[in-house]
Structure 1
Amino acid sequence: MNAMNAHAAYRSNAVATASPARLLVMLLERLVLDVERAYVAQQRGAWADAHRELLHAQDIVIELESSLDVDRMPAGKQLASLYEYLRNRLVLANVRRDPRVTTECLTLSRQLCDTWRQAAMTAAVGAAAS
């Protein structure tokens, strides 16, 4: 088994065995990575690469929006609005090829990732204490 196949098998196993909270964090970590890559590509003038990364980031935000149960979360409507705002800014960063907008998206993506990571850790500690 070569290194690429081993890495793919590891990733597949990590996803298959992850808790829902961990899956959410993994998705947000990928969002951050996509936006980081898009920013770097924009800085290089590699517009096709930036476009690909921003489209994937948009797909992730669409998935986050579609999986959000607004009525079951205390701040569900606010989170839905935040996801919508981020999605719209990702589109704008792509259409305008604007690294400043991409930087804003990166900041917001990192904040969302950090928040969900902290929530997942808090929930895991609470579950272990029970």
Structure 2
Amino acid sequence: MAMQNPYNQYKENNVMTASPENLTLLLYNGALKFIYQGKMNIEQDNIQKSHAAIVRAQDIIYELNDTLDMQYDISQNLRALYTYILEKLLDGNINKDIAALDEAAAMVTELRDTWKEAMKLAKTRK
């Protein structure tokens, strides 16, 4: 039996044991990672790799969107933001538009940073 890369094993364990709050944070960070990879690959004229990275970012945003609990008002707002981010990612992928990817990254960064703050506030109230 082949031994798994220790770093990959650590990452997998990190995801499998993450709280829902931390998992959301990991998803935001993953989306940003793939947006930046897509952007870098566009700049290096590697269309295939840019497409693959942007699709992975889209998959993460789809997952965040699909898991919204629509009984809360904020979920409506998040759904609209996720839809807009997906539009920017699609535009960035089809047209290899760096500006569209930058806009998507800025929005995901803001959502991630807001989520981090909410996590801090929730910890102080426990």
RMSD between superposed Cα atoms in Å: 1.5
Asked whether 1:42 is paired with 2:17, we answer no
Which residue is 1:51 aligned to? 51
Task: Write the mapping of 1:21-100 to structure 2, written as runs, cut at 5 A.
Answer: 21-71=21-71, 73-100=72-99
Structure 1 residue runs of 4 or more that deviate by more than 3 Å after TM superposition: none
* Residue 105 of structure 2 is aligned to residue 106 of structure 1: yes
Task: Please give the TM-score of this superposition, normalised by the length of structure 2.
Answer: 0.92
1:16 and 1:124 map into 2 onto residues whose CA distance is: 21
The alpha carbon displacement at 1:74 in A equals 3.4
Hey, what's the Cα distance between the residues in 2 that align with 1:9 and 1:32? 22
For normalisation by structure 1, the TM-score amounts to 0.89
CA drift of 1:70 comes to: 1.8
**What is the distance in 2 between the residues matched to 1:30 and 1:62?**
13
Instruction: Name the % identity.
Output: 26
Aligned to 1:100, what secondary structure does the other structure show?
helix
Structure 1, unmatched stretches of 5+, are none
| C-alpha separation in 2, matches of 1:18 and 1:93 | 31
* Cα distance in 1 for residues equivalent to 2:70 and 2:84: 16
How many equivalent pairs are there?
125
Counterpart Cα distance in 2 of 1:92 and 1:103: 11
> Secondary structure in 2 aligned to 1:69?
coil
* Unmatched segments (≥5 aa) in structure 2: none
